[in-house]
Structure 1
Amino acid sequence: MRTAVLAALLGLGAFAVATGLVLQLHTHPYLAKLQHNIDNVSVSSGEGVTAIVYPPNGLPEIRHNLSVTATTHVEGDLSAPEVKQNGDVTVWKRSTIVKEGRDDLVLSAEVRRICIDRRTGEAVAPCHGEFYETEQGKRTIGQGAKPLHPGLNFVFPFGTEKRDYRWYDTVLKEPVPIHFAGEQLLQGLDVYRFVHTIEPRELGNFQVPGSMIGSSESSVDVTQYYGVTRTLLVEPETGAVLSLREDIKQELRTVTQREGEGTYAFDGELGLTPASVTANVDEVKKNRPLLFMITTLPTILWVSGAVLIAAALVLLLLHRRGFLVAGVALVIGACLGAGTTYWVTNASDPDSSLDLKNVVSSTNVDYGLR
């Protein structure tokens, strides 16, 4: 009877420890990766916004108290050569169109295609076909070993830490440090808050109709300045951005004007709608069993397995018999735990359901680019 108890304790302990090790060393890196076939639509909105609008067959003009909606569609490009089953890189395309609600006019639009590391969320290069386009027919294409969109663009890394990261700003076209600013609850989830404020920066010089900025001249030379305060709420285990809010200011200044004395080409706050935030939260909650399995469960298994093995070793030392049975139980338990977990992990691989050999490249879509 004592020998059977000894074998059971050692077998179960070895099973638990081996399972925890495989979950940590194999399952976590194997499953904690961005999906190739993402297809997500999110909506941001803002009220009381000041912005330049482009009426059909008319001159651009500044309008106030607008209702503005920004719709962003992120989709995976399975036809990209970088996309491979269980590869380290995926390719996502993001299109964004910003409209005002009064006349349904397009304020701005862009399309981007980016190669990203599936675990860190960082843009990587070389990237075949990487580009961004904000005006129809004027596409900027990435070349060489330097990413066109360096830093984080969509998500934070798996296992996000309480530290600064580099977040790519699509207006400045460069990554800007974004700072950890605390923790909070969001619909029952513990999230990290990241914030940065970009002080007004000069974007460029050009001419605008005098009527746009209240001048009697037919055209006026102005300098455009851009600044933003950006707040992101991030689920740390997955790195998913659940909520995004941006307070944006773009000011047109003449040579004699200082900050705040010019004409705002955009002034307002846009944030993900409650429906989009809830959809993001629900997606993370749906994946909670997997998150528990690859983050918390290994520690539970190591502790419980160590306790069982320690109890078995005490029995073994006290009675000094059953060494052969103990050794066999230890080996069998470890092999069963490691083998079963390894098989279940590979069977759960999301990449295995994708047919990456027979992908039809997505068609070009009019995203509202002028």
Structure 2
Amino acid sequence: MRRTASPLSLILLGLGTFMLVLAPLLAWYVKPRAAVNPIDIDITAVYRGTGSVFDTEQVETVPDQRITVTQKVRGDVEDSERSGRAAVWDVTTTVDTDKTLPAADPHDALDFVPHRWVMDRRTTKPVHCCGETPYIEGEAYLKFPFDVHKRSYQWWDNSLGSTVTLHYRGTRKVQGYTGYRFTGMVAPAKAGTRLVPGAVVGLPDRPQVLAEEWYANHGLDLVVDQRTGRVLYAQTGPKRTLRAPGAKKDAVVLLDSSKIAFTTETQKKAVQLAKRDSGQLRMVGETLPIGAAVTGFVLAVVGGVLVVRGRQRPDTTETPDTSQVPVMM
């Protein structure tokens, strides 16, 4: 007797082998290529809080004002595709009080800052091309890299024009969704200059003065989705002042708030997007590979057993005995 493998056993063995090969391929090849920053992004984040702002009509700082910060991010698809591996995002940040809202033109806001951020789509590190302005550095800005670790990160602060160290502070829930929390602060630092009437900075005898603009932050508080790096919650405490050239003390406060944070609507939208994107990455990087590995192992074992057992068949083919059959003449 000899044994031959059945077609079913070969199919099971082949399918199991394929699934075992597919599992690491999904985890180590497909997932890294799925974890990329989009080039067609179009999102808006709104922050709200209270604080003091400089009223240009009254020419003085007015306290207890409601402050709204609106940050719009739109991807430049054409420039992104032309760059190769970079995502080109155009960002506008407006600061308003109730007096300037709603504004038909963002230039009518209390403050309006446009800039362009270019990053590597996979690592989120800055890429210096495609009309980037300003020259952005650090490890994160607007979002963290994929697969966030429990360590400190260098976060770009556009108001400061430099990076700020954000320290890992454990986890925190945002709208019922758990993320990694990072905090930091900014000591007063000169952030630029601004041409203003001399009287604004205590120099009434001079028509115009190139005043020093100083910036500080009472506290940055971010909660980030671990898998995607998306910011779920952001809180900032900006303080911007003007000083006379070479002065050691602030002459006027332009903006001062201890807390301006994501609105509830912005938090919910960020969590919704994080759940969707994180779920897709988890499926490609964990669920499907584990499922493929388990299924492949089972199929390969069953197929292998069937191949080893085979089907019994005789070794020789018997011919009928014709000795008793009469011969017809």
2:117 matched residue in structure 1 = 114
Structure 2 CA distance for aligned equivalents of residues 201 and 78 of structure 1? 36
Question: With structure 2 as the length reference, what TM-score do the two structures score?
Answer: 0.76
Q: Structure 2: which 5+ residue stretches go unaligned?
A: 102-107, 312-329
The structural deviation recorded for 1:179 is 1.6
Give the direction of change, closer, same or farther, for the CA distance of 1:240–1:221 in structure 2 (3 Å limit). closer
Q: How does 1:303-314 map to 2 (within 5 A)?
A: 304-305=294-295, 307-308=297-298, 311-312=301-302
- Partners in 1 of 2:233 and 2:267 — Cα distance? 6
| C-alpha deviation, 1:222, in angstroms | 6.7
Matches within 5 A, 1:67-216: 67-80=66-79, 82-84=80-82, 87-104=84-101, 106-125=109-128, 127-132=129-134, 148-151=135-138, 152-203=140-191, 212=200
**Matched residues, number:** 296
Shift of 1:19: 2.5
Report the 3-state secondary structure (helix = DSSP H, G, I; strand = E; otherwise coil) of the residue aligned with 2:81. coil
> Aligned pair in 2 of structure 1 residues 227, 290: CA closer, same or farther (>3 Å)?
same
Deviations 1:225-259 (A, max 9, x none): 3221111111111111111100122344677866x
Please give the residue correspondences for 1:254-265 in structure 2 after superposition, counting only pairs within 5 Å. 263-265=252-254
**In structure 2, which of residues 227, 232, 235 is the aligned counterpart of residue 245 of structure 1?**
235
Two-structure CA RMSD over aligned residues (Å) = 3.4
156 and 322 in structure 1: CA distance in 2 versus 1, 3 angstrom threshold:
farther
Structure 1 counterpart of 2:97, one-letter code: E
The alpha-carbon deviation at position 208 of structure 1 amounts to 5.9
Residues 170, 216 of structure 1: alpha-carbon distance in 2 compared, 3 angstrom cutoff: closer
Counterpart secondary structure, 1:79: helix
Q: Sequence identity, in percent?
A: 27
Q: Structure 1 stretch 298-307 or stretch 38-47: which is displaced more?
A: 298-307
Q: 1:129 corresponds to which letter in structure 2?
A: G
- 3-state SS of the aligned residue for 1:120? coil
Bigger drift between 261-270 and 272-281 goes to 261-270
TM-score by length of 1: 0.68
1:50 and 2:52 equivalent? Answer: yes
Question: Match for 1:37 among 36, 40, 50?
Answer: 40
String of CA shifts for 1:247-280, please: whole Å, max 9, x gaps.
Answer: 122344677866xx86533211211111011111
Please report how far the alpha carbon of residue 67 of structure 1 lies from its aligned counterpart in structure 2 after TM superposition: 0.7
Structure 1, unaligned stretches of length 5 or more?
133-147, 324-370
Residue aligning to 1:297? 287
Query: 2:290 is aligned with what amino acid?
Result: I
Opposite residue 241 of structure 1, the aligned amino acid is V
Instruction: Give the letter aligned to residue 87 of structure 2.
Output: T
Shift of 1:111: 0.6
Highest Rg: 1 or 2? 2
1:128 maps to amino acid: C
Q: SS at the partner of 1:149?
A: coil
SS in 1 for 2:110: strand
Compute the displacement of 1:98 (Å): 0.7
